[in-house]
A and B are shown apart, each in its own frame.
Chain A
Amino acid sequence: MRRAAKRWLSALGLGLLFGLGLGLSGMTQPDKVLAFLDVTGAWDPSLALVMVGAIGAFFVAFRVARRRPAPLLGGRFPRLPRRPDWRLIGGAALFGAGWGLAGICPGPALVDLGAGLGDVAIFAAAMVAGMALHRLLGVGVSGTAPAPAAPHEPAALVATAREGAGQ
């Protein structure tokens, strides 16, 4: 099989696995998520175990990956941002506010959308609108160059840097 086909198919399978995990864990049920966040009410701490399982599995894989020169299907391991900045905290605070209002975060929104749930479709459409609004306002993405460019596009970064310098 060609490498491009392998990359595409594996990404599809991993998205499916991720989504099945979200459903099994309870993250696709907003009332369960809100009960997890409701520490002063009828608190349901079970979703903390989702984080334990998921973080544990990723922790192991990240250690293994650090001994490898490159990802198995090509490309290279990314250089990830290190420092917190005001966009990180501000963005996380906004996200937390929305998460606390609806009990839905982006992954479960997509799983519930795939299941054809109408009210989650409204949430998902609004979420995409929020992403578009962010881009439109040019607030910038935490951990990347100041302009709102995607982190994997060096050419775009250079172009926006030039624009910025010209102003």
Chain B
Amino acid sequence: MSPLLSALLGGLLIGTSAALLYLLHGRIAGISGILCSALTPETSDREWRVAFVAGLLLAGVAYRLLAPGALPLAGTGTPLPILAVAGVVVGFGTRMGNGCTSGHGVCGVGRGSVRSMWATGTFVAVGMAVVFVMRHVVAGGGR
């Protein structure tokens, strides 16, 4: 399958899942928020969040067994210390901003939320700026 078609189809699956979660449960499919409240014992209505996270993990198991080409099996290509820093910043930032690529980028923009458009524009722009600095300033075009 061409990368363009698989990107579009994958996006449709993501959007369909988010759509059904909203229609059936009345919930926004924001992964960072679902994960955080699934891990917080005092969350009310915690069960569906744990189940949703389990489904995401299960998708990883399925790809490992059936289509490992979709996974970065050879490693992410990022040194571990940078990976750890990135993880902390992603965890902190997604809580503070109340959303990530899914909650703001897909559901928020999809429902026409100005807030989420600001958030999405910000994280895409900063992401591009950081990649520019890491690849073309720090590494001098390497990696």
Contact = CB atoms under 8 A, between A and B. Distances in A.
Contacts of A150: 37, 40, 42-44
B9 to A, nearest CB: 6
A76 B26 contact: yes
B93 A71 contact: no
Interface in A124-143: 124-135, 139-143
Contacts, number: 513
B97 A51 contact: no
Interface in B1-58: 3-4, 6-29, 31-32, 35-37, 39-40, 42-45, 47-49, 51-58
A105 B55 contact: no
A92 B93 contact: yes
A95 B87 CA distance: 9
A146 interface: no
* A interface residue count range (under 10 / 10 to 19 / 20 to 34 / 35 or more): 35 or more
Where chain B touches its partner, the secondary structure class is helix
Contacts of A153: 42-44
A53 B14 CA distance: 8
A50 B11 contact: yes
Contact of B70 (A24, A52, A84, A98): A24
Interface string A68-86: 1011110111101111100
20 contacts: A15-B52, A19-B55, A22-B59, A38-B131, A41-B136, A50-B11, A53-B15, A68-B23, A73-B25, A84-B118, A88-B97, A88-B98, A92-B120, A93-B122, A97-B86, A97-B93, A102-B82, A106-B32, A122-B87, A141-B98
Given A83-B115, A92-B97, A123-B87, 5 more contacts: A31-B76, A53-B9, A54-B15, A57-B110, A100-B128
Query: Which 6 pairs from chain A and chain B are nearest by CB?
Result: A15-B55, A91-B97, A19-B59, A130-B91, A25-B10, A114-B60
